[in-house]
Amino acid sequence: MAEIPVPQHMTAEEFRRQGRAAVDWIADYWERVESLPVLSRAEPGQVRGQLPAAPPEVGESFDAVLADLDAIVVPGLTHWQHPGFFAYFPTSTSGPAVLAELLAAGLGVQGMLWQTSPACTEVEQHVLDWLAGMLALPEKFTFAGTGGGVIQDSASSAILVVLVAALHRASGGQVGREGVERGRYAVYTSTQANSSLEKGVRISGLGASSVRFIDTRPDLSMDPDALRSAMKEDVAQGIIPVMVMATVGTTSTGAVDPVEPIGRTCREYGAWLHVDAAYVGVAAVCPEFRWIHHGVDAYADSYATNPHKWMLTAFDCDACYVADRESLVGALSVLPEYLRNSATDSGAVIDYRDWQVPLGRRFRALKLWAVIRCYGVEGLRTHFRHSVALAQQFAAWVGADERFELMAPHPLSLVCFRLRGPDEPNQRLLDALNASGRVYLSHTVVRGAFTLRLAIGGTATRYEHVAAAWDDISRIAAGE
């Protein structure tokens, strides 16, 4: 018999040494990230050009990997943990989240079934019930009620799975058996909603033509009257309203759709109501911000928010809740013989494979559990209140400068503003700011006008960073 080759793995002692080096590298990165240009200055192909054409035949030391992080990777990054990162929405991470990710990777469990790792499932159930309580969400979204929570990778996946559940409910399961009948169903959302809904509609097989984009009110939130008119017209033509997505904190301006009147219309026409609160939903940990959820208790069939944006939990972590878990499981459950087991057959456990698109799933709940435990509810409230206070200070500076105008309400941590006048000076201002390396802002279009967005929520962002950003904006606008 030929000798069986023995693979060479990192020993426990070597792992300890290199693990300490990796943690030190991350800590050093966090300490020095402010000195780096926020927006990457890499040219297309520059990173790949520094990588060898072929992989090594003989394994290298992990020291070489860390060295190339500094030499190749870091210069090719846009630094999302930089205190001057104000673009899009932050994906703020933290020490507890990173350490929990390390632990999850080390455990290496696959939580597709309860049986494949009971703790992976039950910690997730429990921590999502915790979060529901922290956000003052209704009991129907917890495992004490008729629904429950599941961690998706992002709000996009949450939208897709609840859309499939809504189709399952609206069709009595027919869609799952026979596919989508073209032109039979319609989905509704605001013109300001995230593009993820349209992508989800395409993936589901409904087709983009099934989406009705509803006009907004002056504050850029969905117009409930326009929604009702659109649904009434569709029903008159024999089209079934399957789902409405209300947005609590739109990506463009942070507008909050009026969930209660939207919900009344959904109930009238039998449509599923999904509330997408991807960025701002977590702010409801603070009682004074819970107004954003008005109407969710009475009318929402599903709800999602992203702890990986503002709640210090490393990407990816979307908390997705449904009020009726049977609709979701009924839509997504496929049980081949090789997955059958006594725990599943008993009906006493949750198998999260039935709550998501992929079969496999990793232990994402560990980082959310660690963040909540290490910060505590009060620590998280302090983080949210700090971000909101900084945004209100920035908005006050903008509002006091007659050269600028505020373009949308700013009750939380996003401020939309611009120089008065044509678009071109605003584009030049944005380009100059982002080229400085000190800050990074993104833009949108509000009522036809090019508008700058400054979103606050990063772990390391403090008053001095926001003040420096305003100083740069004011100075560049003055032509200095």
Q: What is the pLDDT of residues 255-298, one digit of tens each?
A: 999 999 999 999 999 999 999 999 999 999 999 999 999 999 99
Q: What angle do CA 301, 307, 309 make, to 5 degrees?
A: 115
Domains recognised in the chain with CATH numbers: 109-362 (3.40.640.10), 370-477 (3.90.1150.10)
Write the DSSP assignment of 170-208 as a string of letters: HHTTHHHHH-PPTTSEEEEEETTS-THHHHHHHHHTS-G
Q: Which amino acid is at 300?
A: A
CA-wise closest residue to 364 among 186, 113, 111, 161: 111
pLDDT band for position 81 (cuts 50, 70, 90): very high
> If you ran DSSP here, which 8-state letter would residue 69 be given?
I
Would you state the pLDDT for residue 338? 84
Are 272 and 244 a contacting pair, CB within 8 Å?
yes
pLDDT band for position 479 (cuts 50, 70, 90): confident
Would you state the pLDDT for residue 157? 95
Sheet holding 148-152, edge to edge: 148-152, 318-322, 302-305, 272-276, 240-247, 185-190, 211-214
Whether residue 316 is preceded by a cis peptide bond, meaning omega within 30 degrees of 0, is yes
Would you state the pLDDT for residue 337? 81
Residues facing residue 318 across a β-bridge: 152
pLDDT band for position 239 (cuts 50, 70, 90): very high
Torsion of CA 92, 96, 102, 104, to 10 degrees: -100
Would you state the structure tokens that stand for residue 222, as one six-digit string?
């969905």
Q: Convert the pLDDT of each residue in 369-410 to its tens digit.
A: 999 999 999 999 999 999 999 999 999 999 999 999 999 999
pTM for this model (two decimals): 0.94
Would you state the pLDDT for residue 480? 65
- If 0-12 CB within 10 Å is exposed, 13-18 middle and 19+ buried, where does residue 341 land? middle
- Tell me what the mean pLDDT of segment 470-474 comes to: 97
Phi-psi region of 23 (alpha: psi -120 to 50; beta: other; left: phi over 0): alpha
Q: CA–CA separation, 318 vs 307, rounded Å?
A: 6
More confident residue, 2 or 448: 448
Q: Convert the pLDDT of each residue in 137-185 to its tens digit.
A: 999 999 999 999 999 999 999 999 999 999 999 888 877 777 788 889 9
Q: CA–CA separation, 160 vs 162, rounded Å?
A: 6
Whether pLDDT at 1 is above 90: no
Question: Which 3 state secondary structure label does DSSP give 11?
Answer: coil
pLDDT band for position 339 (cuts 50, 70, 90): confident
Rg (CA), the chain: 24
Number of Cα atoms under 13 Å in the Cβ half of residue 430: 19
Average pLDDT of the chain to the nearest whole number? 94
- Tell me what the mean pLDDT of segment 65-85 comes to: 95
- Tell me what the mean pLDDT of segment 80-100 comes to: 96
Would you state the pLDDT for residue 240? 95
Whether pLDDT at 350 is above 70: yes
Look at the block and give the residue holding tokens 């009110």.
Answer: 217
pLDDT band for position 41 (cuts 50, 70, 90): very high
Would you state the structure tokens that stand for residue 198, as one six-digit string?
């349209």
Region of poorest pLDDT, from 20-24, 200-204, 381-385, 467-471: 200-204
Are 33 and 81 a contacting pair, CB within 8 Å?
yes
Q: Which amino acid is at 179?
A: G
Q: Convert the pLDDT of each residue in 297-315 to its tens digit.
A: 999 999 999 999 999 999 9
Q: What angle do CA 469, 470, 475 make, to 5 degrees?
A: 100
Are 116 and 343 a contacting pair, CB within 8 Å?
no
Would you state the pLDDT for residue 335? 81
Q: CA–CA separation, 96 vs 102, rounded Å?
A: 10
Would you state the pLDDT for residue 313? 97
Would you state the pLDDT for residue 419? 97
Q: CA–CA separation, 304 vs 132, rounded Å?
A: 11
Are 443 and 452 a contacting pair, CB within 8 Å?
yes
Would you state the structure tokens that stand for residue 66, as one six-digit string?
């860390």
Q: CA–CA separation, 137 vs 140, rounded Å?
A: 8
Are 84 and 38 a contacting pair, CB within 8 Å?
yes
